[in-house]
Amino acid sequence: MRESRPVHVNAAAVNGIPGDADFVFDARSLPNPYWEPSLRNLTGRDPEVIRFLEAQTTVGTLIADIAQFMTARIPEYQASNRGYLTVAVGCTGGQHRSVYIVDRLAEIFASRFSNVSARHSSLPAGLQRLRLA
């Protein structure tokens, strides 16, 4: 049964961990697109950055590990009296790795749970939220 309690997935960065984060994951060990001059000014939503990150096996492994762990935890939180669950993913600047990972996690969670959202406080206002089907 799909529960309607919200699941929020946030990208955290230099501004610190969101105060409402229930789970926090660190993506700083992954290859950083920032160090590729052609990718520096792009975000984790740009096709060039997506290709760069998808070519790194460690990125896919981290996403799979977080998704597996959280897929087991989300029903526990939904069964409790909590009104929501917030998962945060952080990296150095909050522009590339965490944005990409949060968007992938939100897509995975949205395929299994209802009421999932993704938020990126480090991106410009028009890009902060991911539209999920």
68-126 per-position pLDDT tens digit? 999 999 888 888 878 888 888 988 888 899 999 999 999 999 898 888 888 877 765 66
pTM score, whole prediction: 0.85
How far apart are the C-alpha atoms of 77 and 82, rounded to whole Å? 6
Pick from 44, 49, 47, 43: which is nearest to 103 by CA? 44
Q: How many residues does the chain have?
A: 133
State residue 122's pLDDT score: 72
Sign of CA dihedral 71, 76, 80, 82: negative
- The more confidently predicted of residues 18 and 129 is 18
**Chain segment 47-72, per-residue pLDDT in tens:** 999 999 999 999 999 999 999 999 99
- The more confidently predicted of residues 29 and 83 is 29
Terminal C-alpha separation, the chain: 19
Contact 106, 117 (CB under 8 A): yes
Neighbour tally for 43: CB within 10 Å: 22
